[in-house]
Amino acid sequence: MTLTGLCHNYPGLLTARWFLGVAEAGLYPGVNYYLGCWYKGSEIGARAAIFFSAAALAGSFGGLLAAAIAQMDGVGGKSGWAWIFILEGLATVFIGIFCWWMVFDWLDTGLCSLARPTPRLCRGPPSTTTRR
């Protein structure tokens, strides 16, 4: 997303957005798979609803943030729309780097291996969406 702000023409913008779409294509199926690794089948629906509702809510607040960033029009020789892509993209990159260490792969490498196992976190086989 950050590189979209560095585009100077329409074909460059389309190319950057195409690569962004390719990179983001697996996000929602991946989230459902990841939730299936941690929760029982009867619990996944509520967790997925919370995640996707949070994504919609973040999108609505993103418009307010974009309106504020658009006021930077002309700073550094960039248009306001370019600053929106650059700043929101950099925030995403930094959060992604931080989350690399915060998100666990499986229960045996996550909280259950760091602390005393609790029945809520370490119980039973994974849901039917996993291949474990």
- Reported as a single tens digit per residue, the pLDDT across 107-120 is 655 555 555 555 55
- What pLDDT score was predicted for residue 79? 87
pLDDT tens per residue across span 33-46: 888 887 888 888 89
- What pLDDT score was predicted for residue 8? 85
Distance in angstroms (rounded) separating the CA atoms of residues 61 and 65 = 7
pLDDT tens per residue across span 47-86: 999 988 998 898 888 888 889 898 988 888 888 888 888 8
- What pLDDT score was predicted for residue 53? 93
- What pLDDT score was predicted for residue 108? 59
* Higher pLDDT among residues 79 and 4, named by residue: 79
Q: CB neighbours of 125 closer than 8 A, spacing ≥ 6?
A: 132
Q: Is the pTM of this model over 0.75?
A: no
Mean pLDDT of the chain: 80
* Model confidence band, residue 18 (pLDDT cutoffs 50, 70, 90): very high
Average pLDDT over residues 85-107: 82
* Model confidence band, residue 19 (pLDDT cutoffs 50, 70, 90): very high
